[in-house]
Structure 1
Amino acid sequence: ENAIVFRQYKDSNFELQRRVQELQTLFELSKEFNLLIDEARAIRTLEFAVMGQTGARKYAICLVHDSKGRIVVNRIPGLEESDLHPLCSSESPMRLADLANEMPIAAKLLEKGAELVVPFQLQSKVDGLLILGERVSRAKYTDSEISFISSLCNLAAMAIDNARLFEESLAKQRLEEELSLAHTIQEKLLPRVMPGFAGCVVGTFHIPTKQVGGDYFDVIKLSEDKICVAIADVSGKGFPAALLMANLQSAFRALMATELRLDQITERLNNIVYDNTESDRFITFFAAIYNSSEKHLIYINAGHNYPYLMKAGGSVRRLDQGGLMLGVLPNVKYQTGLERIESGDFLYMFTDGVNEALNPDGEQFTEERIDELLRLNAGLEADEILETIRKEVASFVGDAPQSDDITQLCVKFQ
């Protein structure tokens, strides 16, 4: 009887020492995992720990995303990712031999040398699978060992998740730095200080919805009595739109330095955009040349929001002569429009970020509101007109996020 008691005491003491050793191992590994900020190193640390703690001849590590597995370590010949997809939602360890009659995939994995599948779990979500085969000792995995292995996998899951978050943070930081640089470059491409022009005053206002945007405007002094104003809206937002905008500006300025007419310039711009962009990319474009000596305005509208020519006498002209948006079809012909200009007239140009600005109820600002504001504030200077509309749009939008780039130009004729 004493021998039995002694044996039980010895077994209990051995089990206690084993548990203490496991806790000590988990504690040391947790310190190691907490220092890791690289997914590959976290996986490698788990691999070494698994080899040392289980003595498995065959094993594999699979990371799970959207209920699909991606094998990152594979020491089981013939194991494929498709074999593991049915197990990616399993939340409990699985002895494959116990499930072979119920699950065909368990029998298939057994044939390939796997014995145990242990899920990684983080916040009740399966982040990965550890697949273990026969051990060097040929001993079966006990419940306590499976519990230890599960704890080990969960430590690895936290380390891998932290590594992912760190990488995402770095990627976000790099993107923000690139966008900041792109924003700086784009701001330098757009005119900031208006030179003096004979017979008119030009005001501009521009806010991209992101750090960089697809709205373009330009003011070019052609001679002492001629200026060109242009505005455009590239489809899409963000970096791709900003890049296309920069290309448009470069091409437009180069063509304006030639002797080509405005309609010919627009035709060439259209072909450049068509030949160098995808089919889902296009640009709405408006350009006008004002001759202060002859008091006339030649313009062309390629699918852009119709600018307002507010006459000193109170009438309103919408400038709609031109043609199709840039980049939709090749070899499009465009028609210019001509307007006589009198002292007190002004030209207002805008992108759809103004009239389509949304309030919290999803309602648009509309061109009707723009029309009314232009009539009520016709006596103001160019910059004052733009500021008045900006304030009205901001008041209308309230706390709703800006949904598109906002650009305005105003030319007040003297």
Structure 2
Amino acid sequence: MVDQPDLHRIDPDHLVTLYQVSRTINSSLEFAEVLNSVMDAVMDATRAQRGFLMIADPGTHALEVRVARGVDDGKVGGKIGTSTSASAADGKAEEDSPYSTTIVRHVVMTLEPLLTNNAQFDERYTAGQSIILRGLRAILCVPMVVRERLVGLVYVDTAIRDGNFSDSDLQLLIAVAGQAAVAIENARLYGVAVEKGRLERELQMAREIQESLLPRQLPQLSGFDLAATWRSAREVAGDFYDAFLLKDTSLGLIVADVSDKGAPAALFMASARSMIRSHAFLGLTPVETLGQTNDLILKDTDSGMFVTAYYGVFQSNGHTILVNAGHNPPCHCRAASGEVTFLPRGGRAIGWFPNNPLKATELQLEPGDVLVLYTDGLTEAENSAGDFFGEARLAESLRQVADQPAEAILNHLIKVVDDFVGDHLLADDLTLSVVRYTGTNGSYA
């Protein structure tokens, strides 16, 4: 491990340089500015012909030249691994590299500074082809380490016969590398924080846009009482619901769930919603609406994502046409008997296969009947014991409040789910819509 510098062995003029370097590299959090300041100070102090400042990738630990002096930008070499194993490729890299990869690897593995003023005849580095090819005489290489982790290294060399590096140069470089390591790490972390903040702002904006696509206010249709809610497990969601009045004075309602999560699902959701709306407003039947949406998704997108959906068209007289595209079956409570059942499953998800064999189910709602449409985030809500909320709990919870207005039913179901889940984090998006048929006079209670 690299030792602390011995300041007593540093020349007075180098101490002034060290002070100036300290002020410079600690006055900025801009990553590129810090790197260039370090490299310029090192070159001025050591009078080296060439210099390289390499940074280690936090993930792969491979070193990459980020700043170079005394060499063309196009000839700084690529990334260099930190493995101890050698290969023919390593030899080729050594031959092509403008610096000695042999010495760089030695410093990486030992985390010790290295100084040689007789590189071509130093027995430790006789295998270094670039040392011989470039006539390198003096080489000084010091690792930059933070908490025993390699951040990067500083490398300078010269081919001049009287261009030896001194012990003062070495001690100065050790001191500079120590301060630079902290400054570089702080600048990197600052950059990460800035990027994280930018992404969070973009995700928040995406969420606001996504929320704006949901109905601000549910449309009103004589004989119906509606309520709906939407929760995302992440910043943005793949679930959505939509409700709209159609030309024939009927009401279209859809609840859907995109197969993926996060930003990709949100973009796919917005596209699918737009397609479904467009086809519905053309006066197509529910089967045609989802069928043509299916074909258009397959034609225009290649993301591999698909969307499950349940689409219903409701008329004021209670007549309802429903189409299931691989989605969770709605829960139906009949007012006359209090019986709670689930409508038939069926259909394939939209965007999965061509020629989707969708079928319509017709249902005659009676006054007081309640229909609950939802995504699997509800029935698959999980508690700390690993149990799912499930369809049985949904049916029983609905039965308890089926005589209440739609908003009250919705609030009760959400509360029951929240109580069941407790402190366990929501693993999936959750969308819930309650449709209560009040009858043509709208007075059923």
Q: TM-score range by the shorter chain?
A: 0.7 to 0.9
1:69 to 59, 63, 72: 63
* Displacement of 1:23: 3.5
User: What is the letter of the counterpart of residue 228 of structure 1?
Assistant: G
1:304 lines up with 2:292 in the alignment: no
* Displacement of 1:116: 3.0
Identity of aligned residues (%): 30
- CA 1:263 to 1:24, structure 2 compared with 1: closer, same or farther past 3 Å? same
* Displacement of 1:137: 6.7
1:188-229 deviation per Cα after TM superposition (whole angstroms, max 9, x unaligned):
210121232211100101112223211110111225752111
The answer for the alignment partner of 1:94 in structure 2 is 114
The answer for the alignment partner of 2:170 in structure 1 is 146
The answer for the alignment partner of 1:345 in structure 2 is 369
The answer for the alignment partner of 1:383 in structure 2 is 407
- For 2:382 and 2:120, how far apart are their aligned partners in 1? 60
2:390 to 337, 355, 366: 366
1:108 lines up with 2:129 in the alignment: yes
- For 1:37 and 1:406, how far apart are their aligned partners in 2? 42
- For 1:361 and 1:110, how far apart are their aligned partners in 2? 64
Are the aligned partners of 1:67 and 1:89 in contact in 2 as well (CA < 8 Å)? Answer: no
Are the aligned partners of 1:252 and 1:269 in contact in 2 as well (CA < 8 Å)? Answer: yes
1:268 to 259, 278, 292: 292
- For 1:250 and 1:231, how far apart are their aligned partners in 2? 13
1:30 lines up with 2:42 in the alignment: no
- CA 1:230 to 1:109, structure 2 compared with 1: closer, same or farther past 3 Å? same
- For 2:395 and 2:40, how far apart are their aligned partners in 1? 72
* Displacement of 1:378: 1.9
The answer for the alignment partner of 1:130 in structure 2 is 154
* Displacement of 1:353: 1.4
- CA 1:387 to 1:79, structure 2 compared with 1: closer, same or farther past 3 Å? same
- Structure 2 gap ranges (5+): 1-6, 84-104, 439-445
The answer for the alignment partner of 1:4 in structure 2 is none
- CA 1:408 to 1:95, structure 2 compared with 1: closer, same or farther past 3 Å? same
Query: Matched residue of 1:333: which SS?
Result: coil
1:219-298 alignment, distance < 5 Å: 219-222=243-246, 226-293=250-317, 295-298=318-321
- For 2:125 and 2:8, how far apart are their aligned partners in 1? 36
* Displacement of 1:83: 5.2
* Displacement of 1:341: 1.2
- For 2:292 and 2:63, how far apart are their aligned partners in 1? 51
Query: Matched residue of 2:221: which SS?
Result: coil
- CA 1:135 to 1:98, structure 2 compared with 1: closer, same or farther past 3 Å? closer
* Displacement of 1:365: 2.2
1:52-101 deviation per Cα after TM superposition (whole angstroms, max 9, x unaligned):
11111122221111320111234468763455634244411134649965
- CA 1:222 to 1:42, structure 2 compared with 1: closer, same or farther past 3 Å? same
User: What is the letter of the counterpart of residue 62 of structure 1?
Assistant: M
- For 2:390 and 2:168, how far apart are their aligned partners in 1? 69
- For 1:268 and 1:322, how far apart are their aligned partners in 2? 18
Are the aligned partners of 1:310 and 1:316 in contact in 2 as well (CA < 8 Å)? Answer: yes
- Structure 1 gap ranges (5+): 1-14
The answer for the alignment partner of 1:201 in structure 2 is 225
- For 1:404 and 1:289, how far apart are their aligned partners in 2? 27
1:151-183 deviation per Cα after TM superposition (whole angstroms, max 9, x unaligned):
212222222222222322222222222222222
- For 2:113 and 2:39, how far apart are their aligned partners in 1? 18
* Displacement of 1:320: 3.0
**Matched residues, number:** 398
1:43 lines up with 2:63 in the alignment: no
Query: Matched residue of 2:293: which SS?
Result: helix
Deviates more, 1:284-293 or 1:72-81: 72-81
- CA 1:166 to 1:367, structure 2 compared with 1: closer, same or farther past 3 Å? same
- For 2:79 and 2:225, how far apart are their aligned partners in 1? 68
- For 1:317 and 1:16, how far apart are their aligned partners in 2? 86
Are the aligned partners of 2:223 and 2:437 in contact in 1 as well (CA < 8 Å)? Answer: yes
* Displacement of 1:184: 2.1
- For 1:68 and 1:158, how far apart are their aligned partners in 2? 19
- CA 1:63 to 1:258, structure 2 compared with 1: closer, same or farther past 3 Å? same
- For 1:369 and 1:101, how far apart are their aligned partners in 2? 78
Q: If the length of structure 1 is used for normalisation, what is the TM-score? A: 0.87
Q: If the length of structure 2 is used for normalisation, what is the TM-score? A: 0.82
The answer for the alignment partner of 1:85 in structure 2 is 82
| Cα root mean square deviation, aligned | 2.6
* Displacement of 1:252: 1.3
User: What is the letter of the counterpart of residue 189 of structure 1?
Assistant: L
User: What is the letter of the counterpart of residue 333 of structure 1?
Assistant: P
1:283-338 deviation per Cα after TM superposition (whole angstroms, max 9, x unaligned):
01110011222x32110010111111111212333223551101111222311111
User: What is the letter of the counterpart of residue 334 of structure 2?
Assistant: K
* Displacement of 1:21: 3.8
The answer for the alignment partner of 2:210 in structure 1 is 186
Are the aligned partners of 2:341 and 2:395 in contact in 1 as well (CA < 8 Å)? Answer: no
